[in-house]
Amino acid sequence: MIALLQTAALPSLKQPTIVAVALVYFAIVAAIGVWATRRTRTAGDFFVAGRKIGVLPLALAAMAATVSGFVFIGGPGFVYGAGVGALYLVLSASITTSMGAWVLAKRLRLLGEVRALMTIPDAIGARYRSPSAQGLAGAAIIIAVVGYMATNILALGLVIDAVFDVGLTAGIWLGMTITLAYSVAGGILAGVYTDVFQGTLMAVASLLVFLFALQAGGGGEGLAGISRTISAADPEFFGPWGKLTPIAALSLFFVFGLGSLAQPHVVHKFYMLRDARQLKWYPALMSVALIMTLLLYFAVGVATKSLVVQGQLPPLTRPDDATPLFLLNATPVLLAALVFSGVAAAIMSTVNSFMSIGAAAVTHDMPKALGRRVSNELLWGRVSTVVISVLAALLAQLSGTLVAFLGIFGWGLFASTLVPSLAVGLNWPGATREGAVASISTGLIITLVFETLAYFKAYTFPAGVSASGLALVLSLLVFFGVSWLTRRGPGAEIDPDVRMVMDL
Amino acid sequence: MGTGNPVARGSRTRTAAVIVLALSMSAIGVAYAAAIMTGRTETWSAWVMAIAASCSLIATTALGAARAGQRLGGLRGLIVPFAAVLVILLGAFAAALLLPAAGEPLLLGLPRRAAIVLYGVGILPALILPITYALTFDELTLTEEDIARVRAVASRGGSEDRE
């Protein structure tokens, strides 16, 4: 499995225009945070934005939370190194937005209305009539969130260091503090509206970079010029699997396709929609925004490769240098500045979403699993946001190479624990409480064991097999098997209101 | 009290979708197991992955779109677009595995096999599925009657007899 985010230093980006645009960007984010803070009065405002979000903000916020900094930095580097094979990681985006709408959006939104749910583990608890399943899902989310946030905060620190030249440690804490400030004060409401701004910035900047990349890399012939140039020097690059094996490429397609249903920081946003009928246009809006943003992933990778083949750029010592080098050499500095702000935007929007779901798991799901209720969820939501963020920032600063492992571990844990119990379970009445608990436990154990073995190089999977993929397959099979075995037991029962939503 | 024995009340469409998903996971599991045991990937495993990955995504989508108590799980009007996307995925991956590499012409700016995969898998479903979702939403996904039922239950504070 590839590293999901930037973990090595970027080239220096300290230029007056880039610094100025970054400062303007942070000022706008701060202004949105202040605005949202004045509108955050209850735990419902803090965790589900008062269920008052329209479909356009929902689509843009979901896209911004889906896309991490990897799409801007690591992704183009991956394309530069692996050719077409790297695109299998994002190819399923053509299906996943619609799949997510059919599988989760309607049911989560309606279940949220019927039961006043606020978190993803809430939905699991309601579906299986099981505080233990809710607690287990909450625990998996907390573990994954801290790990994934650490990776994102490190990436944010690297970007801030490259732009402002403040050093990595200062970059980490500066980035975390800015994101934390608007997240603690304005909760998910601030998060959603900064996501709207950030998502728009990311999509527009990516589209512009795509046009510049075709021009620069194709020498006036656009994509055809890029294809001819690269294929003449490196025929494998534009092969149907690039430099990956077919099974490795297809495995990426499978894991990132089905795994997209289990990103709680994204699907949690369905609760926030003001009117479920607005979902009608969600897949179309989300698909347009997502594909626009992913254009950069493809175009910068192939354009940089073309420019290197033509001798207009030196061969890259690290694939992750593709985006900074391309932008600084082949686009106007203002556009480069917008993209670097877009990178920070992508990371911050993801971190903010993680802060929210992590805090909700601590203050809402875990106490509920233990039969308790926190009296002031808004206050404790803010406190736990700070605690989780500081923990993640410390991990980012102190864990060295472990941070890349934490990111992969977090992503794999979400996929293997939530696809069966949430995505399938909310649509299949045959799923049982025992099946859900067994599959979540399987996902936790398999992901932890195999990712740890892989990290310490005690075991290396053959090309094409990943711990995330294996854990996803096994947790689904355990889910089906245990549900079938326990289909006549009390764990198969479903509350009537939940069943009604599942049947719609 | 719960509804009891929900499996028997599930629609055949949902059950069929779950069976396809379970078979797809089993097939991918076999491909992974073969790779782990032999330390390399066999040609057949690429075919298995291509078919199983495509089927798993479409089966999951169909599972989500299905409604209880309706003929074909309420999927009438969705079967054709879902089948079309499945055929596109399988066709694109088959073309990638079967077409010769030598002397590839460019297709819309890309070498033929890459173009088939990128435009076929990466773009076409993004045109078909969101439009299908929007066009069928009011009739097949969420009707006014559905909204009224949900609001009635929500106004009573959810299930009155739940634990």
**ipTM of this predicted structure:** 0.91
Contact status, residue A504 vs residue B142, Cβ threshold 8 Å: yes
- pLDDT tens per residue across span A4-18: 555 566 777 778 888
Whether B71 contacts chain A with CB within 8 A: no
Mean pLDDT of chain A: 87
Chain A residues in contact with B36 (beta carbon < 8 A): 461-462, 465
* Residues 21 through 60 of chain B touching chain A, CB cutoff 8 Å: 21-22, 25-26, 28-29, 31-32, 35-36, 38-41, 45-46, 49-50, 52-53, 56-57, 60
Q: Which residue of B has its CA nearest to A461?
A: B36
Q: Which of A75-84, A407-416, A422-431, B8-17 has the highest mean pLDDT?
A: A422-431
Please report whether residue A7 resides in a domain. no
Mutation site, A103, A255, A473, A488, interface B, largest B CB count within 10 A: A473
Q: Which of A345, A346, A495 is nearest to A433 (CA)?
A: A495
Residue B1's pLDDT band, with cuts at 50, 70 and 90, is very low
Chain A residues in contact with B137 (beta carbon < 8 A): 279-280
Predicted pLDDT at A287: 94
**Do strands B110-111 and B106-107 pair parallel, antiparallel, or not at all (unpaired)?**
antiparallel
Please report whether residue A266 resides in a domain. yes
What CA–CA distance (Å, rounded) separates B53 from B59? 10
> What is the 3-class SS of A315-349, one letter each residue?
CCCCHHHHHHHHHHHHCCHHHHHHHHHHHHHHHHH
Q: Which of B31, B93, B54, B97 is nearest to A462 (CA)?
A: B31
Q: Which of B127, B50, B106, B27 is nearest to A241 (CA)?
A: B50
Instruction: Return the CATH number at A467.
Output: 1.20.1730.10
Please report whether residue A11 resides in a domain. no
What stretch of H or E contains B9? helix B6-9
- Return the SS3 of A53: strand
What CA–CA distance (Å, rounded) separates A68 from A260? 13
HSE toward the beta carbon, residue A162, CA cutoff 13 A: 25
- pLDDT tens per residue across span A153-180: 888 888 888 888 888 889 889 988 888 8
Q: How many CB pairs under 8 A join A and B?
A: 275
What CA–CA distance (Å, rounded) separates A426 from A503? 10
Phi, psi torsion values for B67, nearest 5 degrees: -120, 150
What residue spans of A219-241 are helical by DSSP H? 222-233
Residue A400's pLDDT band, with cuts at 50, 70 and 90, is low
Q: CB-CB: which of B96, B117, B133 is closest to A98? A: B133
> Cβ atoms within 10 A of the Cβ of A400, count?
9
Tell me chain B's radius of gyration from C-alpha atoms.
Answer: 21
Q: Which of B59, B11, B22 is nearest to A480 (CA)?
A: B22
Please report whether residue A252 resides in a domain. yes
> Cβ atoms within 10 A of the Cβ of A99, count?
28
Q: Do A91 and B117 touch (CB under 8 A)?
A: yes
Tokens matching residue A295: 């254009």
Structural domain boundaries, residue A111? 16-503
Question: How many angstroms separate the CA of residue B1 from the nearest CA in chain A?
Answer: 7
Q: Which of A472, A196, A44 is nearest to B28 (CA)?
A: A472
What residue spans of A234-376 are helical by DSSP H? 246-258, 264-267, 282-309, 322-330, 333-360, 366-369
| β-bridge mates for residue A50, sequence order | none
Please report whether residue A210 resides in a domain. yes
Q: Do A501 and B35 touch (CB under 8 A)?
A: no
Buried b (16+ CB within 10 A) or exposed e, A215-249: bbbbeeeebebbbbbbbeeeebbbbbbbbbbbbbb
Q: Do A503 and B69 touch (CB under 8 A)?
A: yes
Residue A167: CB partners within 8 Å, gap ≥ 6? A161
Number of domains in chain A: 1
Whether B77 contacts chain A with CB within 8 A: no
Averaged pLDDT for residues B158-163: 50
Predicted pLDDT at A345: 79
Please report whether residue A2 resides in a domain. no
Predicted pLDDT at B3: 47
Q: Do A238 and B151 touch (CB under 8 A)?
A: no
Question: How many angstroms separate the CA of residue A94 from the nearest CA in chain B?
Answer: 4
Whole-number Cα distances in Å, A213 to A292, A322, B94 = 14, 12, 30
Chain A residues in contact with B129 (beta carbon < 8 A): 94-95, 97-99, 283
Q: CB-CB: which of B22, B85, B99 is closest to A480? A: B22
